[in-house]
Amino acid sequence: MKDTSRKLAKFLYKKNVICNANNENTNYNKIVRALDSFSNMHTMSNKDFLEKILMGAFKLIPEAEKGSFYELVDDKYIPIVSNGYDINTLQKLVFNREEAFADYKCSDIASIQAYEIYIEERDNTKFSEEIINTLKELGIYSKYTCLYAPIQVEGLTRGLICFECFNKTGFTKTSKKILRFYAQIISNFYTQKVLYEKERKIYNEIVDALVSAIEVNDKYTEGHAQRVRQYSCNIAEKFQLSKSQISDLSTAALLHDIGKIGISTEILNKPGKLTVDEYNIIKSHPIYTKRILEKISGFSTIANFAYNHHENYDGTGYPQGLKYDEIPFESQIIQVADAYDAMTSERAYRKALSSHEALKIIKKEIGKQFNPKIAKVAMETFSQI
Ligand SMILES: [Fe+2]
Ligand SMILES: [Fe+2]
């Protein structure tokens, strides 16, 4: 993202939209700084993202006194963020698409432009009395200049960025050029964010479908995957893992038993004791988990965390018999969360243990089945649940 913003700023520099790249306070540096602040846009809330868009533009348009960002949702323009206006008053201005900015040009257009309009007085035949009063209260009923630009995704307007200047001089040509380029760049970022959110939605739907597939096969594990995920995330929070580590751990915990799809329902739901052969078949489920998850692009880390959820700290686990630091830390968290939930849930062959009994077993297994550091934090976490 940083490279992109620098390239774009250089492009603007060449186009004479901005000048003197070496001076800290030039538009070049202001644009680079404004665009750099979008580097983590995928993890921002929508409101934070729109606030960054608006505030970034404010730094580039010196004549702007007030401004706001309207998002177009279900054919209605809704003010989401503003600078200089009381947001509660501004939010009374929710318009239908066709009536919104009756005197403005902001329909879907091929190229993104910045427009300037001087409003001597609003046409009061176009608005209700309530809207006129709100416009007057906000000071945008008459005698001001607005500089605005649509933000588009694939040629369709998704929002409108507006700046008001109450001084007769209005906006300079440079400000218009800068807003035009800024709106084009932001439309690009906005498109990326929309696509990323679509991808994320599909990803979550795939994960949910996989979890339901395990539960169809094994009636005793209903809700198990979600609880193991919740416990794992609660434990992980105490170890200050990064957001992306927690995200991978969360998905791995949710899908750790997906390989049980490959085990016959009769064995999974057998009420009595398992034979050695049957137990060995059950023990192959982490291998199936790995095979399934590895097929999904971008899941190799998640597949590895889930694959190792039956490894024991002292090397007596399966499928690889890894020990100590050889076992990924995230897998060790899933392992203790999985063990606690398995013990406190009813199974085909036994009744559920109480939380107290399960905690006693975890304590006994510290240093054997469980990593002492993780087990200690896990026990605190479980006793608070
Ligand atoms: Fe398992
Ligand atoms: Fe499990």
Per-residue pLDDT of 117-136, as tens digits, reads: 898 888 888 888 898 899 99
Instruction: For residue 68, give the H/E element and its range.
Output: strand 66-73
Q: Where are the domains of the chain?
A: 62-195, 218-384
CA of 224 to the centre of ligand 2 (A): 7
CA nearest 34: which of 64, 75, 2?
2
Give the pLDDT of residue 325. Answer: 97
CA of 28 to the centre of ligand 1 (A): 55
Give the position of tokens 């416990």.
Answer: 231
| Nearest ligand to the C-alpha atom of residue 260 | 1
CA of 306 to the centre of ligand 2 (A): 10
- The number of beta carbons lying within 10 Å of the beta carbon of residue 186 is 28
CA nearest 149: which of 85, 47, 19, 56?
56
Q: What separation, in Å, do the N-terminal and C-terminal C-alpha atoms of the chain show?
A: 41
pLDDT of 89 > 80? The answer is yes
With the C-alpha atoms ordered 314, 317, 321, 326, is the resulting torsion angle positive or negative? negative
What distance in Å separates the CA atoms of residue 73 and residue 89, rounded to the nearest whole number? 19
pLDDT of 56 > 80? The answer is yes
pLDDT of 102 > 70? The answer is no
CA of 185 to the centre of ligand 1 (A): 47
Give the pLDDT of residue 107. Answer: 60
Please name the residue ranges forming H helices in 139-172.
Answer: none
Class of domain 218-384: mainly alpha
- The number of beta carbons lying within 10 Å of the beta carbon of residue 132 is 14
Lowest average pLDDT, out of 183-197, 210-224, 233-247, goes to 210-224
What distance in Å separates the CA atoms of residue 162 and residue 114, rounded to the nearest whole number? 10
| Nearest ligand to the C-alpha atom of residue 306 | 1
| Nearest ligand to the C-alpha atom of residue 227 | 2
Please provide residue 46's backbone torsions phi and psi, each rounded to the nearest 5 degrees. Answer: -60, -40
The first and second tokens of residue 317, run together, are 């686990």
Please provide residue 370's backbone torsions phi and psi, each rounded to the nearest 5 degrees. Answer: -115, 145
> Please, is 57 exposed, middle or buried when counting C-beta atoms within 10 Å of its C-beta (0-12, 13-18, 19+)?
buried
pLDDT (average), residues 273-280: 94
CA of 285 to the centre of ligand 2 (A): 10
The size of the chain, in residues, is 385
pLDDT (average), residues 93-98: 76
Please name the residue ranges forming H helices in 15-154.
Answer: 27-36, 46-60, 87-90, 129-138
161 by DSSP, 3-state: which?
Answer: strand
Q: Matching CATH topology for 62-195 and 218-384?
A: no
CATH 3.30.450.40 for domain 62-195: yes
Tell me the pLDDT tens digit for each residue of 296-327: 888 999 999 999 999 999 999 999 999 999 99
Tell me the pLDDT tens digit for each residue of 342-352: 999 988 778 89
**Strand ranges in 224-268 using DSSP code E only, listed in sequence order:** none
CA of 260 to the centre of ligand 1 (A): 8
What distance in Å separates the CA atoms of residue 67 and residue 54, rounded to the nearest whole number? 7
What letter represents residue 365's amino acid?
E
pLDDT of 17 > 60? The answer is no
pLDDT band at 14 (very low <50, low <70, confident <90, very high): low
pLDDT of 140 > 70? The answer is yes
For residue 254, give Cα distances in angstroms to 114, 123, 251, 313, 323. 47, 58, 5, 21, 23
Q: Which residues lie below 8 Å from residue 124, measured CB to CB, with a gap of 6+? A: 132
17 by DSSP, 3-state: which?
Answer: coil
CA of 327 to the centre of ligand 2 (A): 17
